[in-house]
């Protein structure tokens, strides 16, 4: 039975990856942070009581800032594959916590790579790199595009990217970076813009909010569904050789278009409900991300299966149910009775 160690297992991607690996027959070891409240909501449905027989999901306390524990986990578990998904993953927050973001996202990766090197285990390593590293490089961005990071988060992830490449070359480690473009879904954190919007739609329909406050509506992103992207992570570690890959759909939308798609799902005009709060503007913005994932399609045979419209649909339907207890039909009916509280319309 193959063994996988997953950092960031309680996150969006970690939870989907855990499901995928368990379905493929892996024994999965996840690293979780100690918190004063439960932080395992996304993996509760696959959690197994350790006292049951044939348990294949094991959780261990750990933190990317704690190198000695990472070393202990790698040495004792001896995983065949390691997926490093843990990160302070919010670009906006990284401007407020640049030092912490660097400690976790950059140095945390080095701590894990060092743990592997020192333990001498024969393992394959996946690093969660990001399209943010491209910054304002011309679109579409491929593996050959220049890196021009525009945030502390992107700079930290670029450090981790080069560290991964260096350990591959220096120590002959099967270590790869997946340069993943934005991927979303029903489990996306509620402070990322897509989920903030679909969650906001649900709260407005439920009468809990009368406006949704956003920042830059002009940003263009290449949004896919996280379930497709964790499959790409796994495929990269099954390849014959360690190669970095760009993963994305190639299709782009503005934040404004995402608003339109989500609000029109329930028959509302987004311009009546969305307001601009400059607090959400970033000191430097990444304006246009579009993936050229030709290499992944050619070498790995990877392609996305969930399109933009289906993704938005799934997120809106999920949030209407979770937040308002409504199905789409009843939500649309309820939305006809809503009246906007005379908001100033943002510039279209
Ligand atoms: P996410 O939902 O924010 O999950 C981040 C995970 O990292 C959570 O499990 C979190 O634990 C954990 N974590 C944070 N700080 C940690 C620390 N100091 N030590 C140990 N664990 C820590 O992120 P995601 O969307 O699943 O993304 C997964 C990875 O892919 C991240 O590295 C992200 O930067 C990268 N990435 C994401 C995207 C995307 O569009 N989603 C695109 C490219 C790259 P808690 O649950 O306790 O907070
Ligand atoms: O949803 P976002 O916060 O995602 P962002 O910054 O693109 O980063 C995400 O994708 C990266 C891959 O490219 C990952 F590496 C990273 O970990 C993360 O998952 O913001 C998307 C766009 C930005 O241009 C932002 O300025 O939406 C804009 N935006 C407008 N209003 C907003 C808001 N973003 C957030 N979070 N909140 C707003 O109110």
Residue 195 in tokens: 């989920």
> For residue 180, what are the β-bridge partners?
130, 247
Of residues 215, 196, 140, 226, the one with CA closest to residue 323: 196
> For residue 179, what are the β-bridge partners?
129, 246
Q: At what angle do helices 193-205 and 255-265 cross, to 10 degrees?
A: 30
> Which of 11, 92, 197, 290 is the best mutation target for the ligand 2 pocket, counting ligand atoms within 8 Å of the beta carbon and taking the most?
92
Contact between 148 and 86 (Cβ < 8 Å):
no
Contact between 205 and 266 (Cβ < 8 Å):
yes
Q: Which numbered ligand comes closest to the C-alpha of 8? A: 1
CA 11 to centroid of ligand 1, rounded, Å: 5
Task: Answer yes or no: is the C-beta of 219 below 6 A from any ligand 2 atom.
Answer: yes
Task: Answer yes or no: is the C-beta of 79 below 6 A from any ligand 1 atom.
Answer: no
Burial class, 279, CB count within 10 angstroms (exposed 0-12 / middle 13-18 / buried 19+): exposed
3-state DSSP assignment of residue 138: coil
What pLDDT, on a 0 to 100 scale, did the predictor assign at position 36? 96
Which residue bears the tokens 């790869």? 176
- Residue 311 to residue 231: CA distance in whole angstroms: 16
Q: Which numbered ligand comes closest to the C-alpha of 179? A: 1
β-strand 220-221 against 253-254: which pairing, if any? Answer: antiparallel
Task: Answer yes or no: is the C-beta of 30 below 6 A from any ligand 1 atom.
Answer: no
Q: Which sign, positive or negative, has the C-alpha torsion 194, 195, 196, 200?
A: positive
User: Which residue's CA is minimally distant from atom 5 of ligand 1?
Assistant: 11
What pLDDT, on a 0 to 100 scale, did the predictor assign at position 346? 59
Task: Answer yes or no: is the C-beta of 294 below 6 A from any ligand 2 atom.
Answer: no
- Residue 34 to residue 41: CA distance in whole angstroms: 14
Contact between 346 and 271 (Cβ < 8 Å):
yes
First to last CA, the chain: 55
- Residue 137 to residue 148: CA distance in whole angstroms: 6
Each of the 348 residues of the chain gets a pLDDT tens digit; together they read 999 999 999 999 999 999 999 999 999 999 999 999 999 999 999 999 999 989 999 999 999 999 999 999 999 999 999 999 999 999 999 999 999 999 999 999 999 999 999 999 999 999 999 999 999 999 999 999 999 999 999 999 999 999 999 999 999 999 999 999 999 999 999 999 999 999 999 999 999 999 999 999 999 999 999 999 999 999 999 999 999 999 999 999 999 999 999 999 999 999 999 999 999 999 999 999 999 999 999 999 999 999 999 999 999 999 999 999 999 999 999 999 999 986 556 555
Q: Which residues contact 33 (CB under 8 A, 6 or more apart)?
A: 10, 39, 61, 62, 63
What pLDDT, on a 0 to 100 scale, did the predictor assign at position 343? 58
Residue 334 in tokens: 């309820």
CA atoms within 13 A on the CB side of 50: 5
What pLDDT, on a 0 to 100 scale, did the predictor assign at position 341? 81
Q: What is the CA radius of gyration of the chain?
A: 21
User: Which residue's CA is minimally distant from atom 41 of ligand 1?
Assistant: 183
CA 94 to centroid of ligand 2, rounded, Å: 11
Q: Which atom of ligand 1 is nearest to the CA of 12?
A: 26
Task: Answer yes or no: is the C-beta of 282 below 6 A from any ligand 2 atom.
Answer: yes
Cα–Cα separations (whole angstroms), residue 126 to 97, 112, 155, 222, 326: 25, 11, 18, 22, 39
Which sequence positions are flagged as catalytic? 130, 132, 153
CA atoms within 13 A on the CB side of 37: 1
Q: Which numbered ligand comes closest to the C-alpha of 127? A: 1
Contact between 181 and 226 (Cβ < 8 Å):
no
> Which of 5, 7, 8 is the best mutation target for the ligand 1 pocket, counting ligand atoms within 8 Å of the beta carbon and taking the most?
8
β-strand 3-7 against 174-180: which pairing, if any? Answer: unpaired
Which domains are assigned to the chain? 3-180 (3.40.50.720), 193-220+251-288+307-335 (3.90.25.10)
Q: Which atom of ligand 2 is nearest to the CA of 214?
A: 39
Task: Answer yes or no: is the C-beta of 285 below 6 A from any ligand 2 atom.
Answer: yes
CA 163, 127, 253: angle at the middle one, nearest 5?
115
Q: Which numbered ligand comes closest to the C-alpha of 13? A: 1
CA 29 to centroid of ligand 1, rounded, Å: 16
CA 132 to centroid of ligand 2, rounded, Å: 10
CA 150 to centroid of ligand 2, rounded, Å: 12
β-strand 3-7 against 27-32: which pairing, if any? Answer: parallel
Q: Which atom of ligand 1 is nearest to the CA of 187?
A: 2
- Residue 237 to residue 254: CA distance in whole angstroms: 32
CB atoms closer than 10 angstroms to residue 118: 12
Q: How many helices (H) and strands (E) does the chain have?
A: 12, 13
CA 14 to centroid of ligand 2, rounded, Å: 19
């Amino acid at each position: 039975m193959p063994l996988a160690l997953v950092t960031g297992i309680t996150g969006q991607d970690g939870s989907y990856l855990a499901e995928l690996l368990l379905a493929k027959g892996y024994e999965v070891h996840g690293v979780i942070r100690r918190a004063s409240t439960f932080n395992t909501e996304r993996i509760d449905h696959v959690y197994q009581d350790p006292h049951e027989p044939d348990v294949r999901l094991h959780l261990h306390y750990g933190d990317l800032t704690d190198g000695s524990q990472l070393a202990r986990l790698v040495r004792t578990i001896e995983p065949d594959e390691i997926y490093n998904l843990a990160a302070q993953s919010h670009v906006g927050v990284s401007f407020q916590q640049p030092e912490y973001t660097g400690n976790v996202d950059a140095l945390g990766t080095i701590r894990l790579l060092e743990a592997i090197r020192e333990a001498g285990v024969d393992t394959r390593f996946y690093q969660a790199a990001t399209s943010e590293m491209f910054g304002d490089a011309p679109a579409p961005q491929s593996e050959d595009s220049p890196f021009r990071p525009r945030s502390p988060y992107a700079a930290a992830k670029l450090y981790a990217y080069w560290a991964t490449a260096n350990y591959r070359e220096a120590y002959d480690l099967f270590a790869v970076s997946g340069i993943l473009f934005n991927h979303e879904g029903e489990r996306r954190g509620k402070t990322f813009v897509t989920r903030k919007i679909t969650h906001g739609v649900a709260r407005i329909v439920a009468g809990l909010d009368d406006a949704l406050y956003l920042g830059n509506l002009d940003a263009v992103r290449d949004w896919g569904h996280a379930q497709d992207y964790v499959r790409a992570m796994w495929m990269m570690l099954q390849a014959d050789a360690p190669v970095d890959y760009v993963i994305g759909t190639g299709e782009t939308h503005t934040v404004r278009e995402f608003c339109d798609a989500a609000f029109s799902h329930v028959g509302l005009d987004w311009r009546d409900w969305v307001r601009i709060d400059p607090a959400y503007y970033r000191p430097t913005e990444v304006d246009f991300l579009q993936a050229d994932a030709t290499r992944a399609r050619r070498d790995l045979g990877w392609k996305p299966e969930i399109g933009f419209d289906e993704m938005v649909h799934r997120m809106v339907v999920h949030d209407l149910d979770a937040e308002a207890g409504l199905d789409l039909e009843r939500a649309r009916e309820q939305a006809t009775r809503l009246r906007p509280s005379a908001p100033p319309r943002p510039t279209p």
